[in-house]
Chain A
Amino acid sequence: MTGSLVADGLTVVYGGVKPLDDVSLTFDRDVCGLVGPNGAGKTTFFNALSGFAQPSAGSLAFDGEDILAMNAAKRARWGLRRTFQQEQVIHGLSGWDNVRLAAEHTGGGRAAVERAIDFVGLDGVDRAGSQLSMLERRLVEIAKTVVGSPKLVLLDEPGAGLDQSETERLISLIRQIPNEFGALVILVDHDMDLVSTVCGTTAVLDFGHVIAIGPTATVLGSANVRKAYLGTADMEADE
């Protein structure tokens, strides 16, 4: 059983720009999706959750716990894990040490590292990060998010740079995270096949506003969402 994330009136302001404007949503089951066109505010939402962007208004709570009361490192130790669009595997450390690094700062021991590496099925963990393929680096990233006791896992375009078969392997792993580790997963991706296959609930952001939230199939099929992605003129041409 995963926890529940509630954002209420979340607003982030950079100068005169509002990448997130009064965002209210609830993610409460297994794997949830967050989609939207470029610049919609998806990564800013992740940054606000992780502590890298300071909201000017609103709240973020997970099972009633105030996430905004913790600094970035403390959120990670509490159980918030994330990946970035640009993979962050450290080239000079082995695959094993990359995962161990996350474990030793988030409360996981050797057994937790073994479990995480076994979960993602990474072989040759003694190899340096620089020697790992893109898929293996993505697997290390997933292992880092599940090591220890994660509560909330944020995956920012985890399938970037992977081919179809590699993405399918990733899909299988992401689906298992809630059951194996009890963590709520929020996935940001532009790959709608990936989102519709993995996510039960999906929210759509556009210009910092939530324009739809609900069951993934319903949301991705709604006119509002198609308009946000394709634009009015394109929709008319499509029709």
Chain B
Amino acid sequence: MTATVNQRSSRVAAWSPAKLFSARNIVVLVVVVGVLIFTPSVVGAYWTRIFTICTIFSIAAAGIALLYGRLGLVSLGQVSLIGVGGWITLRIGHATSLPFEVVLVIAAIGTGIIGVLVGLPALRLSGLNLAIVTLMLAGAFEVIFNVTGFPNGGDGFLGRAQGGVLQQPLARPSLGTTDPDYFRYVVVVAAIMFLVIGLHLSNRPGRAWAAIRQSEAGALAAGIGTVRYRLWALAVVSATTGVAGGLLAGNAGLLDPISFKAPASILLFATVLIGGAYSLVGAVIAGFLSQGVPPLLNAWGLDGNLIFVLLGFGMIQAITTAPQGIAGQLQGLVRRIAGAIAKRRSR
């Protein structure tokens, strides 16, 4: 052997429980708790509702970031999966008296299965081919949603109330009956989804996905079952996106097919690139860019559709100067400030 046991200790990074209480983790915890407590009272009822939707879309954005940032897969059908999760939530919610949380789990499982099934034919695709296939699938779901509509308390498999029968919104969960409470509920569920995705990224599946992204041959040579891990990624992303759909359904109790058109997925993907596809912070930024900017433009007396122009410029900026997105730039800024502070202290 070329090294002694003593040398080993200097080479191998030891994991310590103290890392759980690192400054970074404590800051994140304080920010989340602060957001939970203060946001609704600071921003008012309208923006609380907007922020609720932004947070919900952050979950779907995190899925896109996982697929693109870690596996190099371009999915342009994520908003359709939100619709699938919403459809299942409304249907199960109306048909049963199960608690909302159980319905969310069912929506996650159902959307996970559907995501894997529709993703199966695309397993061997990547790059532009995969992007086009997922966009076509998004188009197919758009048609299906337009034909079937979303369950609104009616009978039959589709659960549609027809004729003069009154539509029934799905009741919100008991922990989130008011808008501020539902916002807090959504933030907690989103945090759990981010934790699920983060745990996958930082453990065995995340490393396997990184290897597949780097080189399929290299991954196979390392013993990685590439098909299994791709399916795993699709299942995780579809399930968490299904939860996002469930939360969206719970927000208003009803869903409209107009919210799940194929271009909405392209817009969400663009905001992930701008926000940053390589970190979960980027997903949060993407959620707020996609759902927060249009109402902000409206509030300033501008057309919300200007977001497409802004995203166009944002994409150019992200591709040419900031491939890590806004999140990467923020992290760079934090590193520079921390470095400057450390330098000043050392003087």
Residues of A at the B interface (CB closer than 8 Å) are 50-52, 72-74, 76-77, 81-82, 84, 88, 90-94, 96-97, 100-102, 104-106, 114-115, 117-126, 144, 173, 176, 180
Give the number of residues in B that approach A within 8 Å (Cβ atoms): 26
Known pairs A77-B223, A124-B11 / 12 extra A-B pairs, C-beta < 8 Å? A50-B221, A73-B220, A84-B217, A88-B218, A101-B208, A104-B207, A105-B208, A105-B223, A118-B7, A119-B1, A120-B2, A121-B2
**Binary contact track B191-226/A, C-beta < 8 Å → 1, others 0:** 000000000000010011011001101101111111
Cβ–Cβ contact A90 & B221, under 8 A: no
Complex interface: chain A residues within 8 A of B217 (CB): 50, 52, 84
Chain B: CB-nearest residue to A124: B11
Q: Is the interface of A mostly helix, strand, loop or mixed?
A: helix
Partner of B223, one of A106, A115, A119: A106
- CB of B262, distance to nearest CB on chain A (Å): 31
**Binary contact track B130-159/A, C-beta < 8 Å → 1, others 0:** 000000000000000000000000000000
Residues of B269-301 contacting chain A, CB below 8 A: 278
- CB of A19, distance to nearest CB on chain B (Å): 16
A-B contact pairs, 5 of them (CB 8 A): A77-B223, A90-B207, A90-B211, A102-B223, A118-B1
**Given A104-B207, A118-B1, A119-B2: A88 and B215 interface contact (C-beta under 8 Å):** yes
Residues of B1-30 contacting chain A, CB below 8 A: 1-3, 7-8, 10-13
Residues of B at the A interface (CB closer than 8 Å) are 1-3, 7-8, 10-13, 204, 207-208, 210-211, 214-215, 217-218, 220-226, 278
Complex interface: chain A residues within 8 A of B215 (CB): 84, 88
Complex interface: chain A residues within 8 A of B222 (CB): 76, 101-102, 105-106, 144
- CB of A103, distance to nearest CB on chain B (Å): 9
Complex interface: chain B residues within 8 A of A76 (CB): 220-224
**Given A114-B12, A120-B2: A105 and B224 interface contact (C-beta under 8 Å):** yes
C-alpha spacing A154/B93, complex, angstroms: 57
Complex interface: chain A residues within 8 A of B211 (CB): 90, 101
C-alpha spacing A74/B7, complex, angstroms: 34
**Given A81-B221, A102-B222, A106-B222: A126 and B210 interface contact (C-beta under 8 Å):** no
